């Protein structure tokens, strides 16, 4: 039955109640059929009762209210599951989850053999375009079937509020959809699907909705989304007299009801009751349909409205008779489920059947509700109505039986060969398939454990691993076979470097569900960390056997192959993965690293990484690699920019802090180098000797030698033979007067690592300080034989030759130092000194002047020039200039008083 309604205010829907005369008279509303443009608008995580047409009085949804005024509203529409991909698959196919096999996000795929609305309408000559707003609906999950354009580019607008699931705000999705509509010709039929994700947790509406709904951010998201719906509907191709519009929710949000904050764990109407509004040109206006309907009815209804018949067997049925007001003697049952508790935690699967006002929930503790009297599902009537509960359970079983394989999944099962491989690797016991040792917990009875696991995950994101471990242990004490809890515990233990403990937790998770690919990947990562690369590769291959489309597995296999030195095999894997998904940002980033950077094509790698980051600005790996590519191309400033951009998106990434800190430390003089190096150490997952050594070097340069020595000792306590720490510790010894200790250490290093150019160069420098010219020359030559481009060694060779009076050879060495590194100003200074010593005074002055172009505050260069111009070159004006510059740069220099007296004789205005 249907009821004619009145108007809709901006904040509330007003309609008159049904009367007995309406029912008896069967008000008939003409519903025209025919070919026309179609907009399917799906609203993620949107509760019906938070929209004005469904009674909400404190959430502004004028666009949705106007849509209901101009069309027809189903009061009791039900989702097939409180899970995005599952619900959307049923919306697009008219099939229940047992029929299409999609039971969870990120694990299952829409099978190619089912027919989607887009496929059917494309065959009928419709243009087809889809614009989705969240990663759970990316094309890899199969809903792109039949769409000529499937826009899942989530890069635009993601700065607004990055979430656990990659998404884009309604404004960006609507803009993309409107641009597509601009390209549709006049009178050309089209099927446009727009999916909006905004009310999904975490709730973060933009201003002004953030301010208007500051204590109700979920409602603020809905109000913001409504404003964007108004923008979409304002497009001329979607005019009310032209386009058929179907607005439907995929599922709701619990908001604390029954102890659940979000959705997917429980099967109550807080998440299963969804809005559904239809606006049809020349169709019924302001009409409400009180009969219960299901998302599986949408596809056959839409086809009927277009004058088309559904192909094949579908679970849903056309609702056009209901829309026209014709009665139905028996209301069909409606099925819903949530399998997420099973796949995520190993808890019981929940199924429900609804017939008329009655709803039965099949759970370890069954539930029965009379929704006409108890819409919040607070009073379980199983005990009072055992006969009705029995009948509904029987009907549920018959419905599932009619669906064929009620447990159908569209992911691969663990075949016998794969199981034997796991047993061969030592991860599965021989015998019956692993499972829980006791009954699976009823989700509603252990919902508090879910809350505890969510709290642990937040602690993990905040890198409070010890606190997260305690939370997880508390959950596992009550539910020791909780799959997600064991996986999270393994990850937490791995992050703390406790690989053996992590392995045991991961093995237990794998034994509970060997079909879950991500358990294999976790095991593979731990085994790789333990250095067992072949074992790791076998586990990755098992994950890919279960799910050949799993991008994480493709990336991990590439990474492990690189670690194993099999770069050609790694390149083949990533090329094949990229051929399947050429626009995937992560795959492109890995390709840039494994292929382009490895081949030295840094320009191509830079371009590919920038394109990947344009699609996914939160791909931290991309920012790391972009900085690395730019460092290799000697573009230090551009590399610094990349690292800083990455830290804007992920300020707790220890590797980005390390890379930026190391870059700044090498460049010298930037105090933020210490900040980033210390952050890298605070955030580290593993011991970072390179960061400790770099921090020590920076501290030593700042004169904080004792702190530097402490950093080196930290490294040597863990890695006694660490070459960098030993070399730098020797430098610190040398600077603090412990010359013999430093030289002894360098000699040991030279004996152990005869190919270390830096050690020989340091021995050369030590010999120079003691004026052992021939010894210094010998070490400098050894350094240059190992590293011909080492500017410091060329400069030290020049000093050694200068000390022996071999000025021509000294000049040659200094010039080679400058050719190796034009920024190594010390070589330029030494060259100028040698020119002065050999009597080439004009050339010496020119060399000092050239040095000052890049080093305008170099006190020693100004002093040399002051001496030259005050003495043999006889240029009083220049002597005064350089004397003043020297005094400004080094007022406490030992020669400052002498220079000041001399300058006073040259000019009374010298002490500027």
Q: What CA–CA distance (Å, rounded) separates 907 from 912?
A: 11
Chain segment 672-726, per-residue pLDDT in tens: 999 999 999 998 877 889 999 999 988 988 889 999 999 999 999 999 999 999 9
Residue 442 has pLDDT above 50, yes or no: yes
The pLDDT assigned to 649 comes to 86
Q: What is the mean pLDDT of residues 853-870?
A: 91
Q: What CA–CA distance (Å, rounded) separates 764 from 358?
A: 90
Percentage of residues in the chain having pLDDT higher than 70? 92
Whether the bond between 208 and the residue before it is cis, its omega within 30 degrees of 0, is yes
Which region holds residue 282: left if phi is over 0, alpha if psi is between -120 and 50, else beta?
Answer: left
The pLDDT assigned to 7 comes to 31
Instruction: Write the CA distances from 54 to 64, 114, 247, 788, 797, integer angstroms.
Output: 10, 33, 13, 78, 86
Give the lowest-confidence range in 13-27, 82-96, 138-152. 13-27
The pLDDT assigned to 23 comes to 35
The SS3 of residue 369 is: strand
Q: Are 684 and 691 in contact (CB under 8 A)?
A: yes
Opening angle at CA 483, ends 480 and 487, nearest 5:
105
Q: Which of 687, 683, 757, 704 is nearest to 727 (CA)?
A: 757
The pLDDT assigned to 435 comes to 61
Q: Which residues contact 570 (CB under 8 A, 6 or more apart)?
A: 557, 558, 559, 561, 562, 594
Q: What CA–CA distance (Å, rounded) separates 350 from 80?
A: 12
Q: Are 195 and 170 in contact (CB under 8 A)?
A: no
Which residues share a beta bridge with 248?
42, 276
Residue 414 has pLDDT above 50, yes or no: no
Backbone angles phi, psi at 276, to 5 degrees: -150, 115
Residue 838 has pLDDT above 80, yes or no: yes
Residue 910 has pLDDT above 50, yes or no: no
CB atoms within 10 A of CB 429: 10
Q: Which residues contact 160 (CB under 8 A, 6 or more apart)?
A: 169, 204, 206
Q: What CA–CA distance (Å, rounded) separates 171 from 232?
A: 9
The pLDDT assigned to 519 comes to 87
The mean predicted confidence, pLDDT, of the chain is 89
What DSSP character marks residue 451?
A: H
Q: What CA–CA distance (Å, rounded) separates 873 from 880?
A: 13
Which residues share a beta bridge with 157?
none
Chain segment 243-269, per-residue pLDDT in tens: 999 999 999 999 999 999 999 999 999
* DSSP string computed for 202-250: SP-PPTTHHHHTTT-HHHHHHHHHHHHHHHHHTSGGG-TTT-EEEEEES
Q: What CA–CA distance (Å, rounded) separates 226 from 28?
A: 31
Burial-class residue 133 by CB neighbours within 10 Å (0-12, 13-18, 19+).
buried
Instruction: Determine the length of the chain.
Output: 912
Q: Are 750 and 727 in contact (CB under 8 A)?
A: no
Q: Max Cα separation, the chain? A: 121
Which residues share a beta bridge with 669?
none
The pLDDT assigned to 462 comes to 84
Q: Are 76 and 246 in contact (CB under 8 A)?
A: no
Q: Which residues contact 293 (CB under 8 A, 6 or more apart)?
A: 74, 76, 77, 78, 276, 319, 322, 334
Q: What CA–CA distance (Å, rounded) separates 461 from 102?
A: 29
Which residues share a beta bridge with 42?
195, 248
Residue 409 has pLDDT above 80, yes or no: no
Q: What CA–CA distance (Å, rounded) separates 493 from 507?
A: 13
411 pLDDT band (50/70/90 cuts)?
A: low
The SS3 of residue 269 is: helix
The pLDDT assigned to 902 comes to 77
Q: What CA–CA distance (Å, rounded) separates 51 from 65?
A: 8
The pLDDT assigned to 361 comes to 98
CB atoms within 10 A of CB 121: 23
Residue 630 has pLDDT above 50, yes or no: yes
Which residues share a beta bridge with 351?
337, 362
Q: Which of 382, 327, 329 is nearest to 359 (CA)?
A: 382
The pLDDT assigned to 19 comes to 33
The pLDDT assigned to 906 comes to 61
Q: What CA–CA distance (Å, rounded) separates 267 from 265?
A: 7
Within 240-357, strands assigned E span 244-249, 273-274, 276-279, 287-294, 334-338, 350-355
668 pLDDT band (50/70/90 cuts)?
A: confident
Residue 434 has pLDDT above 70, yes or no: no
pTM of the model as a whole: 0.77
The SS3 of residue 625 is: helix
Chain segment 794-830, per-residue pLDDT in tens: 999 999 999 999 999 999 999 999 999 998 999 999 9
Residue 5 has pLDDT above 90, yes or no: no
Residue 160 has pLDDT above 90, yes or no: no
Burial-class residue 691 by CB neighbours within 10 Å (0-12, 13-18, 19+).
buried
Percentage of residues in the chain having pLDDT higher than 90? 71
Give the lowest-confidence range in 24-38, 260-274, 365-379, 834-848. 24-38
Q: What is the mean pLDDT of residues 128-142?
A: 93
Greater confidence (740 vs 411) lies with 740
How many C-alpha atoms does 737 have within 13 Å on its Cβ side? 0
Q: What CA–CA distance (Å, rounded) separates 83 from 837?
A: 83
The pLDDT assigned to 701 comes to 85
The pLDDT assigned to 547 comes to 84
Residue 612 has pLDDT above 90, yes or no: yes
Token readout for 459 is 């602690």
Residue 162 has pLDDT above 80, yes or no: no
Which residues share a beta bridge with 167?
134
CB atoms within 10 A of CB 302: 25
331 pLDDT band (50/70/90 cuts)?
A: confident
């Amino acid at each position: 039955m249907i009821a004619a309604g009145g108007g809709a205010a901006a904040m509330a829907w007003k309609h008159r109640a049904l009367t007995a005369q309406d029912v008896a008279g069967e008000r008939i509303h003409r519903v025209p059929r025919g070919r026309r443009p179609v907009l399917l608008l799906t609203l993620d995580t949107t509760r019906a009762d938070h929209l004005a047409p469904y009674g909400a009085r404190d959430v502004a949804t004028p666009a949705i209210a106007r849509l209901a005024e101009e069309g027809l509203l189903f009061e009791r529409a039900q989702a097939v599951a409180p899970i995005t991909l599952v619900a959307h698959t049923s919306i697009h196919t008219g099939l229940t989850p047992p029929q299409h096999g999609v039971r969870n996000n990120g694990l299952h795929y829409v099978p190619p053999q089912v027919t989607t609305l887009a496929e059917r309408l494309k065959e009928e000559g419709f243009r087809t375009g889809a614009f989705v707003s969240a990663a759970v609906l990316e094309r890899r999950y199969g809903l792109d079937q039949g769409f000529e354009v499937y826009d899942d580019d989530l890069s635009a607008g993601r700065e607004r509020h990055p979430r656990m699931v990659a998404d884009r705000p309604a404004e960006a999705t609507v803009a993309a959809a409107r641009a597509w509509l601009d390209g549709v010709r006049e009178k050309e039929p089209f099927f446009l699907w727009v999916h909006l994700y905004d009310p999904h947790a975490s709730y973060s509406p933009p201003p002004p909705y953030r301010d208007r709904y500051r204590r109700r951010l979920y409602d603020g998201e809905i109000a913001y989304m409504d404003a964007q719906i108004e923008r979409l509907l304002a497009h001329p191709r979607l005019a009310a007299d032209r386009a058929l519009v179907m607005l439907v929710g995929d599922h709701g949000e619990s908001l604390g009801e029954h102890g659940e904050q979000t959705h997917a764990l429980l099967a109550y109407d807080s998440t299963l009751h969804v809005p559904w509004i239809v606006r049809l040109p020349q169709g019924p206006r302001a009409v409400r349909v009180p009969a219960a309907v299901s998302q599986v009815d949408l596809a056959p209804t839409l086809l009927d409205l277009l004058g088309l018949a559904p192909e094949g067997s579908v679970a849903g049925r056309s609702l056009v008779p209901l829309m026209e007001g014709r009665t139905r003697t028996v209301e069909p049952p409606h099925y819903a489920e949530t399998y997420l508790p099973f796949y995520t935690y190993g808890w019981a699967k929940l199924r429900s059947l609804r017939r008329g006002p009655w709803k039965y929930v099949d759970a370890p503790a069954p539930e029965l509700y009379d929704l006409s009297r108890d819409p919040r599902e607070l009073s379980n009537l199983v005990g009072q109505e055992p006969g009705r509960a029995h009948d509904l359970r029987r009907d549920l079983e018959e419905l599932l039986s009619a669906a064929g394989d009620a447990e159908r999944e569209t992911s691969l099962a663990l075949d016998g060969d794969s199981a034997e491989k796991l047993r061969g690797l030592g991860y599965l016991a021989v015998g019956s398939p692993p499972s829980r040792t006791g009954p699976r917990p009823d989700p509603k009875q252990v919902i508090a454990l879910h809350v505890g696991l969510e709290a642990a995950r937040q602690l993990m994101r905040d890198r409070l691993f010890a606190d997260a471990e305690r939370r997880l242990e508390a959950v596992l004490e009550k539910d020791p076979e909780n799959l997600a809890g064991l996986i999270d515990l393994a990850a937490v233990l791995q992050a703390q470097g406790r690989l053996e403990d992590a392995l045991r937790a991961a093995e237990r998770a794998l034994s509970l569900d060997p079909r879950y690919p991500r358990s294999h990947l976790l095991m593979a990562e731990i085994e790789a960390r333990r250095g067992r690369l072949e074992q790791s590769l076998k586990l990755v291959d098992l994950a890919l056997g279960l799910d050949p489309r799993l991008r994480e597995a493709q990336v991990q296999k590439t990474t492990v192959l690189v670690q194993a030195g099999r770069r050609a095999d790694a390149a083949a894997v990533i090329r094949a993965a990229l051929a399947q998904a050429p626009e995937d940002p992560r795959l492109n980033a890995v390709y840039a690293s494994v292929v382009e950077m490895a081949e030295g094509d840094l320009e191509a790698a830079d371009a590919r990484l920038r394109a990947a980051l344009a699609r996914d600005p939160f791909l931290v790996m991309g920012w790391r690699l972009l900085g690395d590519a730019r460092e290799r191309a000697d573009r230090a400033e551009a590399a610094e920019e990349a690292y800083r951009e990455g830290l804007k998106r992920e300020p707790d990434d220890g590797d980005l802090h390390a890379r930026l800190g190391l870059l700044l430390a090498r460049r010298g003089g930037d105090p933020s180098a210490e900040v980033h190096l210390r952050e890298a150490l605070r955030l580290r997952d593993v011991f970072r000797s390179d960061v400790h050594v770099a921090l020590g070097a920076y501290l030593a340069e700042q004169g904080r030698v004792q702190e530097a020595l402490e950093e080196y000792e930290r490294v040597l306590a863990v890695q006694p033979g660490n070459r960098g720490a030993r070399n730098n510790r020797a430098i610190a010894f040398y600077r603090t007067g412990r010359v013999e200790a430093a030289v002894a250490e360098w000699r040991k290093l030279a004996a152990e690592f005869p190919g270390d150019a830096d050690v020989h160069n340091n021995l050369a420098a030590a010999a120079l300080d003691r004026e052992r010219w021939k010894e210094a020359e010998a070490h400098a030559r050894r350094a240059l034989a190992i590293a011909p481009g080492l500017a410091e060694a060329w400069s030290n060779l020049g000093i050694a030759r200068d000390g022996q009076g071999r000025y021509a050879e000294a000049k040659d060495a200094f010039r080679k130092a400058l050719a190796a590194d034009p920024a190594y100003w010390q070589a330029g200074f030494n060259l100028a000194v040698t020119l002065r010593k050999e009597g080439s005074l004009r050339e010496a002055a020119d060399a000092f002047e050239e040095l000052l172009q890049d080093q305008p505050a170099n006190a020693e260069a100004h002093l040399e020039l002051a001496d030259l111009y005050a003495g043999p070159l006889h240029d009083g004006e220049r002597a005064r200039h350089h004397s003043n510059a020297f005094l400004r740069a080094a007022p406490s220099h030992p020669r400052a008083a002498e220079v000041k007296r001399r300058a006073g004789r040259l000019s009374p205005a010298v002490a500027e």
